[in-house]
Chain A
Amino acid sequence: MTVKHSLLALLAESPGTGYALKQRYEQRTGALWPVNIGQVYKTLARLEQDGLVAHPRGDDSAPFELTESGRAELSAWLVEPVPTAGLRDELVVKVLLALGTPGVDGRQVVQHHRRAVIEETQRITRTRRGEDLTWTLLVDSVVLRLEAVMRWLDRCEARLAQHEGAGR
């Protein structure tokens, strides 16, 4: 989680002091990524050095503002592609290894993981908080990622069944 760009985004909304920014940050991310106040001050100092944020009229006691270059940096970051998990996924490795291990029922291993995915989905679905948009979007992101894992596990089972059928 990049504290630097999150602070730029918050300053794009309105100016703020280090303490106020810490509070707004935790509000906006659903308190999922707590940040300590020292980290916020240190990051603001670096942003000021780089000319991305500034105190208005050089008044050190006034809340920080976003500069023009800060705004440009933020806009570029918001649309910059994010690296995906790629092929190295622990669950994938487990299932692949299970299939080749003697004495291990691959379908059973798949089913264990499928149950775990559902239980995690149930747990997170229960945290839904009515109309809270930030929280709903966070829950959606977790639930939909779990759905992708579930679909892969379903696919594993279907392919295994197909494979066993062909080998008969």
Chain B
Amino acid sequence: MTDRPALRFEQVSKVYGQGHVAVHALRDLTLAVAVGELVAVMGPSGSGKSTLLALAGGLDRPTHGRVLVDDVAVSALRPDGLAELRRRRVGYVFQDRNLLPQLTAAENVALPLELDGLRSGAARAQATALLDELGLADLADRFPDDLSGGEQQRVAVARGLVGPRSVLLADEPTAALDSLNGEAVVDLLRRRCEGGATALMVTHDSSISGWADRVVFLRDGRLVDTAGPLPGPEVLLAPEVG
């Protein structure tokens, strides 16, 4: 992990609607996520978690403030710039997997690269290498219908990670999974961050947040608290008193 921010929210507000029906999804939120950092976002529903991810990925624009990915203001990009950002720099992992049933796992993972203009052979090679790296090599030639829910989700994570993506956005990526598959998914994100990516992950699950370098808490669109790991795992081994 470095001190250099890969993702920044500067005094960001997002308001949906106007007047007395206006909903303040985010209020004056400032947050920087460093290169190599895995940050978990927690908070009750309606606290602004998903809005935060949507703004980071350029799926929506802030009402006030700026969102920067690698020093580029996402909020100021024109449509073609935004499209390129989404294709090349930002990877998304969603709760619902949306794999295409007529394509194999490897073809699903290769798809974003092919859509980005990469030749199919090269795209497939990258996809297969990634599946291999993630311990999913055995699944490469299987179709989604032949995969378990957990396997599908891990393939979907691979699809979100494939290519030169430096910023990973994950919205409840483990919500539909049993605990061991959930752990496998967060372990993938963790390893990508150790390899230099940056991840912002929404979760309501404390055992998943436990894998993060930092956990931020949202409430009513505001960042209300931050948690980081307590020092020294060796404390765990101290003899119990009494």
Interface residues of A (CB under 8 A from B): 31-34, 111, 114-115, 117-127, 143-144, 146-147, 150-151, 154, 157-158, 161
Contact = CB atoms under 8 A, between A and B. Distances in A.
A146 B208 CA distance: 12
A161 B44 CA distance: 10
Given A34-B239, A146-B206, A154-B204, A123 B224 contact: no
Given A111-B224, A111-B225, A150-B206, A122 B212 contact: yes
Contacts of A119: 227-230
Nearest to A117: B206
B143 interface: no
B240 interface: yes
Contacts of A154: 44, 204
A111 B232 CA distance: 23
B210 A118 contact: yes
Contacts, number: 74
Contacts of B229: 119, 122-123, 126
Interface residues of B, number: 28
Given A34-B239, A147-B205, A122 B227 contact: yes
A121 B206 contact: yes
Main secondary structure of the interface of A (DSSP, over half): helix
B217 A126 contact: no
B240 to A, nearest CB: 7
Contact of B206 (A111, A118, A161): A118
A158 B45 CA distance: 10
A117 B215 CA distance: 11
Nearest to A136: B183
A127 B233 contact: yes
Interface in B194-220: 204-207, 209-212, 215, 217, 219
Nearest to B187: A128
A122 B228 CA distance: 7
A35 to B, nearest CB: 10
B227 A118 contact: yes
18 contacts: A34-B239, A111-B224, A111-B225, A114-B217, A114-B225, A115-B217, A120-B230, A121-B207, A122-B209, A122-B228, A124-B210, A124-B233, A124-B236, A126-B233, A143-B210, A146-B206, A147-B205, A154-B44
Given A123-B230, A127-B233, A146-B206, 5 more contacts: A33-B240, A115-B225, A115-B226, A123-B235, A143-B210
